[in-house]
Amino acid sequence: MGEENWFLVEVQKMRSEGLLMDVTLCAEGKEIPCHRLVLAANSEYFKVMFNGSHSESRKDKIEIGGVSAEALQLLVDYSYTSTIDASKNVNALFQAADMLQFPQVYKKCEECLLKLVSEETCVEMWVLADRVSCTRLAEKAKSWAMKWFDMQYTTKELLQLPFHLLKTYVSDEHLFAEEQQILEAILLWARHDLKEREGHLKELLKCVCFSSIDKDYLKNLMKEDEVFARVPGISYMMRSQTVSVRMVRRVILEKNMLVIGGVTETTTLNDKVYRLRPDSECVNANPLPKKLRESHGMAACAFHDHVIVTGGDKSMWQAWRYKPRQNSWDRLPNLRTGRYDHGMAVLGGQLYVVGGAENDTYYDEYYEDENDDDEDDDDDEWDDVDDDEKWVIPDVEVYDKKSNRWKLTKQLRVAVSNFAIAACRGKLYVFGGETDEEYATNAVQCFDPKNKKWSLDLWLAEAVSCLSACTVGSKIYLVGGPLQQVMCFNPEKETLVSLAHRLVPWDCCSATVCWGEIYITGGRAYDETRPWYNSETLAYVQCYNIASDNMVLCNDLPERLYGHCTVTIKK
């Protein structure tokens, strides 16, 4: 038995026998006899209290206000045993540990609460974190609250928010909410305690973009809602877009995401383009061109104000341009090399198509008329290509906008498919992928356009494939595949750092960046004990907030998908 354990055993024995007890703590009518020395050894609060300068140092009984009897008992028990079940009444225990300065219990409670944050608990957790000044919990809870306002804005938890938190909530441009919902939430909050809160209404209403709300709704509100109508200057606020009224539109109103193609849970092909808001709520769905409806393994990339889609197992040489504002498609010249399960990225204003695989089953497709119109096709079943007819290619080509042609450039050092690709700091990076032997590689290949060469000097810790990469600032973030966490690659230092854990499986997912956050859509739940083709296909959307290193679940995709493409566009 170690010396520390020996001491704990002895003081527990003395406590159970009632020996040398020199203080009794009281809370909610409950009395808890204990030893000053044991309390002081575990808590700075009690150490200062018993030091001699406070009147409590001479009292036999001390009333502890502001904590529950259960929480106080748990803290005293911890002082004697160094063990505690933080899940028992964790909210009260967290506040007691904060007030009475039990740092180890505080950390245990924090870890427990971080796991409990969800769309249902986020506002409650945010208030709790603010009360005890817990930055980590506050950031995570806020991240969830920003995505789930539509679930929170009429709840009792939101009605109990203090003014400063509600203002932080409704003034954030990353809040995923309609302005009418925000206005209704503010008015509900004010009416909950009108006498105390009416004075805050004008300040809160400055956070509302009235120009985004239906005019007839506002006129009717002015007539029927006395509280709203008597806010000083409200008529002017609704008419004007001055510095006193919110000028910046919400992120949710500025950008959309497109989810293109992919394979569904029934192994049929998704023949649609889903347009999603940043809260991943589906706005609409439109059909893909005929040839793309028949393919899987396509790649897509935002290029200027359009989206370029290339390849696919049954459209290997094809390149299409989608114009989101017109909702129209047109053909680009054929690729120089047919491919699928490849990657695309924009570097230095140029569009690159990299690697992938090809097969000879549909070789004649190259010679088809490029103006083949988009006729309806009843057969959308996916006839998978035999593995023997597939081989991986190293070819790289770039789109020359002036000549409207694709041009071959330097090949990859290692031919790969199903890899992650991203442009960062003036270079192109390819992470992992599958080789001809269908084994994953841990190679990191880097293309420098200045010397037009690929280098092969970096290696990941493990071989990976079926993952995605996104560039934010000067770093690249890897998600998906076999990874359990977000991985951050720093090209300047050539380092890889593990960040937040995934919330759900994400093999064969797709990812895109929207307003500095990474959205990870769909994927498969790969299980080594089951054949790959029997893995569960998923509809989850995970959102990774880089600033707070938090992962949040958003609304699900319209259907379960993997092997699809996700890109961000201006609305």
Three-state SS annotation for 431-442: ECCECCCCCEEE
**What are the two backbone dihedrals, phi and then psi, of residue 112, each rounded to the nearest 5 degrees?**
-65, -45
Q: Is-contact 392 381, C-beta < 8 A?
A: no
The overall average pLDDT reported for the chain is: 89
Residues 6+ apart with CB under 8 A from 489: 429, 431, 444, 475, 476, 477, 478, 495, 496
Tell me the mean pLDDT in the region 164-179: 92
| Enclosing H/E stretch for 365 | none
Q: In this model, does residue 285 exceed pLDDT 80?
A: yes
Q: Is-contact 570 254, C-beta < 8 A?
A: yes
- Per-residue confidence (pLDDT) for residue 15, from 0 to 100: 78
Strands 420-424 and 427-431, bridge-based pairing: antiparallel
Residues 6+ apart with CB under 8 A from 149: 169, 175, 176, 177, 181, 182, 185
C-alpha R_g of the chain: 30
Name which of 397, 339, 333, 405 is nearest 369 in CA terms: 333
Q: What is the C-alpha to C-alpha distance for residues 205 and 255, in angstroms, rounded to an integer?
A: 24
Tell me the mean pLDDT in the region 396-401: 93
Name which of 220, 216, 156, 226 is nearest 185 in CA terms: 156
Residue 125 confidence class, pLDDT cut points 50, 70, 90 = very high
Q: What is the C-alpha to C-alpha distance for residues 492 and 58, in angstroms, rounded to an integer?
A: 61
Q: In this model, does residue 18 exceed pLDDT 70?
A: yes
Q: What percent of the chain has pLDDT over 70?
A: 91
Q: Is-contact 436 450, C-beta < 8 A?
A: no
Q: In this model, does residue 3 exceed pLDDT 90?
A: no
Q: Is-contact 226 526, C-beta < 8 A?
A: no
Q: Is-contact 264 537, C-beta < 8 A?
A: yes
Q: What is the C-alpha to C-alpha distance for residues 484 and 61, in angstroms, rounded to an integer?
A: 52
To 5 degrees, how large is the angle CA 193–CA 195–CA 198? 85
Strands 23-27 and 61-63, bridge-based pairing: parallel
* pLDDT winner (highest mean) among 86-95, 186-195, 378-387: 186-195
To 5 degrees, how large is the angle CA 231–CA 233–CA 234? 60
For 1-116, give the CATH class: alpha beta
pTM, full prediction? 0.84
Name which of 320, 409, 440 is nearest 370 in CA terms: 320
For 143-252, give the CATH class: mainly alpha
| Enclosing H/E stretch for 330 | strand 328-332
Q: In this model, does residue 244 exceed pLDDT 90?
A: no
Q: What is the C-alpha to C-alpha distance for residues 404 and 148, in angstroms, rounded to an integer?
A: 44
Q: In this model, does residue 531 exceed pLDDT 80?
A: no
For 256-359+390-569, give the CATH class: mainly beta
Task: Supply the DSSP string of 196-231, one letter for each residue.
Answer: HHGGGHHHHHTTS-GGGS-HHHHHHHHHH-HHHHTS
More confident call, 125 vs 532 = 125
Residue 372 confidence class, pLDDT cut points 50, 70, 90 = low
pLDDT digits (tens, 9 = 90+) for 28-52: 999 999 998 889 999 999 998 888 7
Same fold, 143-252 and 256-359+390-569: no
To 5 degrees, how large is the angle CA 363–CA 368–CA 371? 145
Per-domain boundaries in the chain = 1-116, 143-252, 256-359+390-569
Least confident of 82-86, 330-334, 426-430, 552-556: 82-86
Least confident of 30-44, 170-184, 355-369, 518-532: 355-369
- Per-residue confidence (pLDDT) for residue 530, from 0 to 100: 61
pLDDT digits (tens, 9 = 90+) for 53-105: 777 777 889 999 999 999 999 999 999 888 899 888 899 999 999 999 999 99
Name which of 348, 331, 466 is nearest 409 in CA terms: 348
Residues 6+ apart with CB under 8 A from 199: none
| Enclosing H/E stretch for 474 | none
